Structure 1
Amino acid sequence: MSMRVTNSMATSQLISNLNNNLGKMIKQQNQLSTGMKLNKPSDDPTGITYALRYRSELSANSQYQSNTNSAVSLLDQYDTQLDESTQIMQRVKELVVEASNGTNTDSSLAAINEELQQLKQQMVDIANTRFNGKYIFNGEATSTKPYADGTDAKSVSADSGSIIYPIGEGISMNVNLNASEVFGDADAAGTTDNVFSIFDRLNTALSSGDTTAAAAELDNIENRTNKIINARSEVGARTNRAELMQERLDSISSNLTEMQSETEDADIDQLYTSYSSAQATYNAALKVGAQIISSTLVDFIS
C-alpha cells in the first residue's frame, strides 16, 4: 500500500532541504570571509583540539626563540668587551716591555705610566659595561655597578650568580660570565692576577722608577691575558650553541605553523568551487519547488 504524499509533506521536505543547503552555504560563506575552516568547535571537534595544541606549542616556541635571541645578543656583547680587554692587555704588555728596557728617562716612564692608568680606567669601564640597562659582569645583581672607579676597583667582589635562559623544552643555558674569570678574584693576600691590582702595582713601580718591579709583572699580565682569551673562547662556544638552537627553533616554528595552517586555514579555491556548487543546487531547488508548490506558498517561504 503506497503512502499518500500531501502538499504539507512536500512543503516540509522542501523547506528542510532548502534549510540544509542554506546552512551549508552560510558555513562556507563564513569560511570564505574569515579564511578559516575552523570558526567554532562544532566545525571540527578533533581539528580544534589539534589547533589549540599547535597554538600552545607555537607560543612556547616563540618564547624560547625570544630567549635564544636575547642570549645571542648578550653573548655578542661579551665577545666585544672581551676583545677590547684582550687588546688592552696586549698594549699593557708592550708598554711594560718598553718601560723595562733600561733606556727610558723619567719623563718617558711618566708618559708610559700615564697611558697605563688610562688603560686601567678603560678596563674599569669594560667591567662596568651595561647592556639593555643591566650590568653584565655582576652576576644576578644586574642593577648594581660591580666595580668602583679608581684604586678601589681591585677590592670589589662582583656577584658570582648565574643567569640561566630556557632555550628549549628542558634545555637551559648559562649566558653570563663570572667577573673573576675576566678580571680576577678580588684583591687579597696572595692574589697576583687581579687585573686592577696589576695596574696599581705597575703604577707604584713606575712612579718610583723601579723598572725591575714593573718587569716582574709580565708573567701576571700574560696569565691574565690568557684567562681573558679563555673566557672569550667559552663565549664563542656558547654562541655557537645558541645559534644552533636558533636554527632548530626556527625549523620547529615553521613546521608547527604549517601544521596549524593545514588544520585551521581554508582552501579558498576548493571552498569557492564548493560554494558555487551549493548555490547552484539551492537555486535549482527553489526553481523545482516553485513548480511543485503553489507560487503563493513559495513566495511566502522565500
Structure 2
Amino acid sequence: MSIRVTSGMMNSQLLSNLNRNNYSMNKMENQISTGRKLNKPSDDPVGVTYALRYRSDLASNEQYKTSTDAAIGWLDTTDTNMSQASEVMHRIKDLTVQGANGTLPQSGMDAVDQEIKELKQLLVGIGNTQIRGKYIFNGQQYDKAPYQLTDTVLNFSDINPDTAAVEYSIGDEVTFRMNTSGSEFFGTSTDADNVFKVLDDLSAALASGNTAAISAQLVNIESRSTKMLASQTEVGARTNRIELVQNRLTDGNLNLTTLQSKVEDADIASLLIQATSAQTIYQAALKSSAQIMSTSLMDYMR
C-alpha cells in the first residue's frame, strides 16, 4: 500500500533536516572557536568522565611535584651544611694533632684553643641552619632553633634536638622523610663523641696543656666524623630517590596531558574540512528546499 506524502510532511522533514545541518555546523564552529571538543557535558558524557579524571590526576601530580621540589630544596641545604660540617671536623682533627704532638708551647696551645672555640661556634651555626624559616636539624620542632643556651641549659653538649620525622606526601599513600636530626648528626647528650662535648673537653685539655687528654680526643673526633659521613650518605640516597620520583611525576604529567588533550582538544584541521563540507551541504539543502517549498496551488493547475 502506497503512503500519501503531503506537503506538510515534506515541509516538516525539510525543516528537520535543515535544523540538523545547522546544529551540526554550529557545533563544529563552536569547537573551532574554542579549540575544544568538550564544551558542555552533553557533547560527550563518557569523554567528560575521562576528562574530569585526568584533571584530578594532574592536580594531584602537581601537588606531589610541589612536595618533591620542597624536599629537594631541604635535602640540598642539608647536604651542603653537612659538607661544611665535615670540613670543620677535618680542621679540628688537624688542630688536635698539632696540640697533641708535645712541641707546641702553651701560647701555641692557647691559639689552637681559640680556633677550636671559633669552629665550635661555626658548628652551632650549621646546627641552626634554616630553609624557608624551618630549622632543618630539629625534627618536627622546626620552628625552634635546636642549639640555644638557656638558664637551665648551659652547654650545647646537653642539648638533644627533636628526632621526629618531617615527612612530605610524594604519591598516593606514599610519604617521604627528608630531615636528619641534630641528635643523629652532631650526637646526643649521652654520646661520648658528641661533637660539642668533644670540643669542650678538647678546649679544657688545650687550656691546661694536657697533651695526653688532647690526643685522647682523636678517637672521638674520628668516630663522630664517620657518623657524620654516614648521615650525609643517607641524605644522598634520599636525594636520589626523590629525584627519581620527581622524574616519574614529570613523565606522568606528560602522559596525562596527552590523554586529556585527546579527549578534550579539537582537531582543528579536520574540523575545518568538515565545517566547509557541512556548509556546502547546508547551502545546497537551502537551495533545493526553497524550490520545493515554493510550490503553490497554481503549479498544480497548469
Q: Same fold (TM over 0.5)?
A: yes
Structure 1 segments unaligned to the other structure (5+ residues) = 297-302
Measure, in 1, the Cα distance between the counterparts of 2:94 and 2:295: 106
Code of the residue aligned with 2:207 in structure 1: it is S
What residue number does 1:40 align with? 40
What residue number does 1:299 align with? none
Residue 29, structure 1, aligned to residue 56, structure 2: no
Contact 1:192 1:220 in 2 (8 A): yes
Code of the residue aligned with 2:32 in structure 1: it is L
SS at the partner of 2:155?
A: helix
Q: Residues 26-105 of structure 1: matches in 2 within 5 Å?
A: 26-105=26-105
Measure, in 1, the Cα distance between the counterparts of 2:148 and 2:110: 24
Aligned length: 293
Structure 2 segments unaligned to the other structure (5+ residues) = 297-302
Of all paired residues, the percent bearing the same amino acid is: 48
SS at the partner of 1:80?
A: helix
Measure, in 1, the Cα distance between the counterparts of 2:213 and 2:165: 37
What residue number does 1:271 align with? 271
Measure, in 2, the Cα distance between the counterparts of 1:246 and 1:61: 10
What residue number does 2:114 align with? 114
Query: What is the CA distance between 1:11 and its match in structure 2?
Result: 2.3
Measure, in 1, the Cα distance between the counterparts of 2:124 and 2:295: 95
Contact 1:121 1:149 in 2 (8 A): no
Runs of 4+ more than 3 Å apart: 1-7
Residue 129, structure 1, aligned to residue 141, structure 2: no
Query: What is the CA distance between 1:192 and its match in structure 2?
Result: 1.3
Residue 162, structure 1, aligned to residue 152, structure 2: no
Instruction: Please give the TM-score of this superposition, normalised by the length of structure 1.
Output: 0.93
What residue number does 1:215 align with? 215
Query: What is the CA distance between 1:163 and its match in structure 2?
Result: 1.0
Measure, in 1, the Cα distance between the counterparts of 2:74 and 2:195: 23
RMSD: 1.7
The CA deviation string for residues 247-278 of structure 1, in whole angstroms up to 9 with x for no partner, is 11111111111111111111111111111111
Measure, in 1, the Cα distance between the counterparts of 2:133 and 2:283: 67
Measure, in 1, the Cα distance between the counterparts of 2:257 and 2:16: 40
Q: Could you tell which deviates more after superposition, 227-236 or 206-215?
A: 206-215
Q: Residues 166-181 of structure 1: matches in 2 within 5 Å?
A: 166-181=169-184
Instruction: Please give the TM-score of this superposition, normalised by the length of structure 2.
Output: 0.93
Measure, in 1, the Cα distance between the counterparts of 2:274 and 2:149: 75
Measure, in 2, the Cα distance between the counterparts of 1:284 and 1:106: 110
Code of the residue aligned with 1:109 in structure 2: it is M
What residue number does 1:227 align with? 227
Measure, in 2, the Cα distance between the counterparts of 1:221 and 1:85: 12
